Copies of this chain bind each other. A is one copy, B any other.
Amino acid sequence: MSTTTERTRPTAENPVVDVRGLEEVLLGRWADIRRTARAFLTDPRLHRVEGQTMAQHRETVLAQLRILAREGDVLRAFPPALGGADDHGGSLARFEETIVADPSLQIKAGVQWGLFASAILHLGTADHHARLLPGAMSVDVPGVFAMTETGHGSDVASIGTTATYDPETREFVLHTPFRGAWKDYLGNAAVHGTAAVVFAQLVTRGVNHGVHAFYVPLRDPATGGFLPGIGGEDDGLKGGLNGIDNGRLHFDHVRVPRADLLDRYGRVAEDGTYSSPITSPGRRFFTMLSTLVQGRVSLDGAAVNTSKLALIIAVTYANQRRQFAGGSPTEEVVLLDHAEHRRRLLPLLAQTYAQAFAHERLLETFHAVFSGTADTDEDRQDLETIAAALKPASTWHALSTLQTAREACGGAGFLTENRLVSLRADLDVYVTFEGDNTVLLQLVAKRLLADHSREFKDIDAGGVARYVAGRAADAAMYRTPLVRVVQTLADGGDRRRSAGQLRDTETQRELLTDRVETMVAEVAAALRPAAKASRAEASRLFDENQHALIECARAHADLLQWEAFTAGLAKVQDPSTRQVLTWLRDLFGLTVVERNLAWYLINGRLSAGRARTVTSYIDRLLVRLRPHAQDLVDAFGYGPEHVRAAIASGAEGERQREAREHYRRLRASGTEPVPEKAVRSS
């Protein structure tokens, strides 16, 4: 995207960003796939049409989904024999880009291929693949992923729907025993879905073997009516994502053939004998659910891409829009030259870069696990933990970035034509679906505790974090040897030297790492008595420390992002660009420190004087980065067909130019009215 701001010339103090080179770094390992997807997504047939009714939007998105199936290279994750490419990382990289067309389309695609078809792929076996995958892949069978119930979302293990095996007829009897056990919030359930993968408690021979998945036809494709025993409701209008027909389903003793249990991890013989390749019910549940991780990974990527769009819009506008007089008597000040405006937008830009680098690493980890190059239980658990840490961080960040961008664009930001409000409405639910952020952070915390001490692997008194087993994690991703350099920060020294220390990579790493480790150790100590306490007492102890656990996980997520950003710097060849990105990384790191400044002070990690330096150094970084803001958003590599926001189109720059020209001509003409103030004082 072109910009009207004048670029500073390169000097040692004023480096210049190599926008195209930086764009390549950000495109990452799957650059070609991303580029192809972005080119494809310039097609107006795929773009959100604002102002449609819910019914129209739903039909538009279904039609777009079929275009994707035919032309969009969206089947990369499936087996080559069925037209796929067994390319898991590339597939997600491609899906994440879809959000620039319409988040509803991204999520509808996620429901169809990432959840419905993917459950058949990962939980089913050869017969299911041959019978069921083609229809799911081609969208001949729009499918529902029926896991969540009205009564149970985050706690999937406790769902109420049952599938009881009847050896007489060799069928499962699928049943919803009470209203709270209705399946709910399901994409494709209200209108389009003709089949579903339904999760239910598998009961055979009087034993409940826990949650398993069943393939269940829902509607007669010819009439659209429900099949016998099946009913449902439309969830109706939502806060966003209204291109997806979410709804409820219930089952009244619906007969499911034995063969339609997706039986990779649990089978029932004709006589009702249950068997599974995984002995432990807990580990089996975790394994089955772990195929869901791709949802979290792709939400993380989509959220980061949305933050990029928001910042392109807000920064471009802030570089053109002028408001309030400043140092010049005739020119108003460009918004981004107001200090508060910089302080609102630039730290968000820094965090978006951090998250973009962190997401790339997550995607690589995901690819290694799903392609089988690194797919031990440990690898899968690492992947789960990293996804559970990053998805909350990036989805919450996207909401605050969209909102700050919206406010920074004033009334213009509130107009749908400028996209920020619709994107925000759509992204809202990203923080609670595919794993509620607060619940995910507790999974992360439990893993941190487990790493801290094996004794604590059985802490799930509160019932949280049922399926994350405790073990040591991928050291490269989040463990750094501790070097106690922090003390020097608490010591004397002038302000300039202090700032110098703050921009030192090892100092930042130490500050962030130390915080995670100290907090985890404190919570671990507080929870130690839980191991030997009664259920009620353990539960109380856990509750008392719940907030601290979540804070540990957030701190860990901050560190993950910072480490990824720091590692990303090494990929930048051009020294001038690397200089700017290093300032941006420093801004991210110090913003995290500033947000938690009280902790550093209370725990003696920073003296009061050094703590002040954090803020003043952030202010210096904001001034340094300001001239590069446009380049840094341009490097996200989205064109006008992706951004599609009137205020980021250059129109505002043109309006400002016209207004200034008007006043210039008026002054030159000698007919400019004299201000009353000037008349009075003369």
Contacts and interface: CB of A to CB of B under 8 A. Distances in A.
Contact of A655 (B178, B432, B659, B662): B178
B239 A673 contact: no
A179 B550 contact: no
Nearest to A672: B208
Interface string A353-371: 0000000000000000000
A422 B179 contact: no
Nearest to A651: B179
A232 interface: no
Nearest to A429: B414
A236 B416 CA distance: 7
B150 A655 contact: yes
A237 B547 contact: no
Contacts of A411: 148, 153, 184-185, 429, 432-433
A599 to B, nearest CB: 9
A135 to B, nearest CB: 27
A53 interface: yes
Interface string A44-69: 00000011011000000000000000
A406 interface: yes
A626 to B, nearest CB: 11
Interface string A84-111: 0000000000000000000000000000
Interface string A653-681: 01110110010000000000111110110
A49 to B, nearest CB: 11
A250 interface: no
A432 B416 contact: no
Interface in A519-547: 535-536, 539-540, 543-547
Copies of this chain held together in the complex: 2
Given A237-B50, A324-B462, A209 B676 contact: yes
Q: How large is the interface on A (under 10, 10 to 19, 20 to 34, 35 or more residues)?
A: 35 or more
Contacts of A82: none
A436 interface: yes
B431 A407 contact: yes
A425 interface: yes
Interface in A115-160: 148, 150-155, 158, 160
A154 B408 CA distance: 12
17 contacts: A148-B411, A158-B332, A178-B655, A178-B662, A179-B655, A206-B673, A238-B416, A239-B424, A282-B677, A324-B463, A326-B539, A327-B540, A333-B462, A337-B543, A339-B544, A340-B550, A601-B601
Contacts of A277: none
Contacts of A177: 662
Contacts of A415: 235-239
A438 interface: yes
Interface in A391-443: 399, 403, 406-407, 410-411, 413-417, 420-422, 424-425, 428-429, 431-433, 436-438
A602 interface: yes
A436 to B, nearest CB: 6
B324 A675 contact: no
A677 B281 contact: yes
Interface string A595-611: 00110011110001001
A164 B612 CA distance: 53
Contacts of A516: none
A547 B339 contact: yes
A343 interface: yes
Nearest to A184: B411
A323 interface: yes
A210 interface: yes
B329 A535 contact: yes
Interface in A238-297: 238-240, 274, 279, 281-282
A340 B546 contact: yes
B239 A406 contact: yes
Given A208-B676, A410-B153, A51 B237 contact: yes
A285 to B, nearest CB: 10
A475 interface: no
A571 interface: no
B659 A236 contact: no
A575 interface: no
A464 interface: yes
B536 A327 contact: yes
A141 B617 CA distance: 56
Interface in A9-46: none
Contact of A340 (B281, B420, B421, B547): B547
Given A206-B674, A659-B181, A675-B208, A428 B421 contact: yes
A207 interface: yes
A564 interface: no
A155 B421 contact: no
Contacts of A282: 677
A151 B659 contact: yes
Interface in A305-337: 323-329, 332-333, 337
Interface in A197-212: 201, 203, 206-210
A497 interface: no
Nearest to A609: B602
Contacts of A612: 602
Contacts of A327: 535-536, 539-540
Contacts of A438: 340, 407
Contacts of A150: 655
Of A399, A535, A659, most B-chain CB atoms within 10 Å: A659
Contacts of A399: 403
Contacts of A154: 323-324, 410
A210 B464 CA distance: 64
